[in-house]
Amino acid sequence: MSAKIEPKIAAAADELTAIRRDIHAHPELGFEEERTSAIVAKKLKEWGLEVTTGIGKTGVVGTIRVGNNPRAIGLRADMDALPMDEHNTFDHRSQHAGRMHACGHDGHTTMLLGAAKYLSATRNFDGTVHLIFQPAEEGRGGALAMVEDGLFEKFPCEQIFGMHNRPKLDVGKFAIRPGPQMAGGGLFDIHITGKGAHGARPESGIDPVIIATQIISALQSVVSRNVAPLDSAVISVTQMHAGDAYNVIPQEAVLRGTLRAFRKETMALIKERIETISSGIAKTLGGSAKADVKVAFPPLVNDRDSVKFIADVAETIVGKDNMNREGPFVMASEDFSYMLEKVPGAFINIGNGGGEGGCEVHNPGYDFNDDILAIGASYWVRLAEAWLAD
């Protein structure tokens, strides 16, 4: 590996690997990260940081102040695991059935801990660094919980930065893109009401199954006809429930699904179209339908100036050829977008390696790569030192 690791961080590599594997072996789900956040708080205190716990339930913030400069930045990691069984057999595999660090948040937490230890010991910057350890990223609303708990009022930041590992991106590489990078996500329920009848006497009822199929067909026109061709969006109906008998036309049907888009305006457009199409088609066919569309995550939008700044920082560690500034759009969502809605900043991807056949996140065979702990921690400390250079 040719990355330029901070020597003090390289010296702590074994310690970081031990922390990462311990957290991996004891995964906790969103808002239940009691053990993990206790480890984080204990380490931060040990290393001399100011520590605030209980922000957004199990969230932790460590603060390092140097000098009187009022400038401050936030560096954010996530701590939660996923509700799934791990299939790995190595020693640090999950000790808990039904829980697994399959997204690498164990590694994200550890990289930020590595940065905390270094920054607190060296204090080679002028201003304040808030190290934000977020709970419940995996669909349980941890970023929003911290924001609503006053994160940025209690810890004002002029910029906020996040990082996620990416399998199949080589070790020693980073990727990012300016502007929208990850899709916003939402989910919907459509409750359709018809009129139950004998299966042989459809004329006496209103068939909610027929209404459901027409709604599903019409929803296909939203992305193809309403969303602009150069914009991107997905609507997938993933559940369809109705009826219990061969010879009964049911009274009700339910459709459920997910939506994704890269712009807030597109999310709003899709929400409006799902509502209008559902109620309009149901009415035309004699029934009624109520669509409940919830936006779960806004799109993740990187600030263009921040992207340039952090890409320059990452280049000092891995070199120009290993910093992809026009990385791919990702249709998956990430709740760091809630923080980026409040404070400008950017979200970078760090290569987790594994090659083309590498194991993706959310797979039962996934593991965070300990070889990148020192690269990620070095990136964090260079970023803090460069942003708050004295």
Least distance in Å: CB of 137 to Zn ion? 6
CB of 192 to Zn ion, least distance (A): 32
Would you say 103 or 222 has its CB closer to Zn ion? 103
Cβ neighbours of residue 72 closer than 8 Å, sequence gap 6 or more: 127, 128, 129, 130, 155, 156, 157, 158
Whose Cβ is closer to Zn ion: residue 193's or residue 363's?
Answer: 363
Nearer to Zn ion, 103 or 318 (CB): 103
- Closest distance between Zn ion and the C-beta of residue 245, in Å? 40
Residue 209 or 296 with smaller CB distance to Zn ion: 296
Query: Per-residue x/- mask for Zn ion, residues 116 to 145, rule CB under 5 A?
Result: ------------------------------
Residues 305-344 that bind Zn ion (CB under 5 A): none
Binding residue count for Zn ion, defined by CB under 5 A? 1
Query: Rounded to the nearest 5°, which phi and psi values hold at 387?
Result: -70, -35
CB of residue 316 vs Zn ion: minimum separation in angstroms? 26
Minimum separation from the CB atom of position 80 to Zn ion (A): 9
Interatomic CA distance for residues 135 and 105, integer angstroms: 10
* Contact residues for 352 (Cβ-Cβ < 8 A; gap 6+): 104, 107, 165, 166, 167, 168, 169, 171, 358, 368, 369, 372
Taking the least distance from each CB to Zn ion, the nearer of 43 and 166 is 166
Token pair, residue 124, equals 């080679």
Q: How near is the Cβ of 165 to Zn ion at its closest, in Å? A: 8
Q: Which of 262, 297 has the CB closer to Zn ion?
A: 297
Looking at the Cβ atoms of 279 and 349, the one nearer to Zn ion is: 349
Q: Which is nearer to Zn ion, 105 or 271 (CB)?
A: 105
Q: Least distance from C-beta 361 to Zn ion, angstroms?
A: 5
Q: How far apart are CB 29 and Zn ion at their closest, in Å?
A: 12
- 206: contact with Zn ion by CB under 5 A: no
Q: Is the separation of the CB atoms in 188 and 313 below 8 Å? A: no
78 to 117, contacts with Zn ion by CB under 5 A? 103
Neighbours of 212 (CB within 10 A): 26
φ, ψ for residue 231, nearest 5 deg: -90, 165
Cβ distance to Zn ion smaller for residue 37 or 251: 37
Q: How far is the CB of 290 from Zn ion (least distance, A)?
A: 31
Q: Cβ 191 to Zn ion, closest distance in Å?
A: 30
The residue (of 71 and 140) whose beta carbon lies closer to Zn ion is 140
- Tokens describing residue 210: 């027929």
The CB-nearest residue to Zn ion is 103
Binding site for Zn ion (CB under 5 A): 103
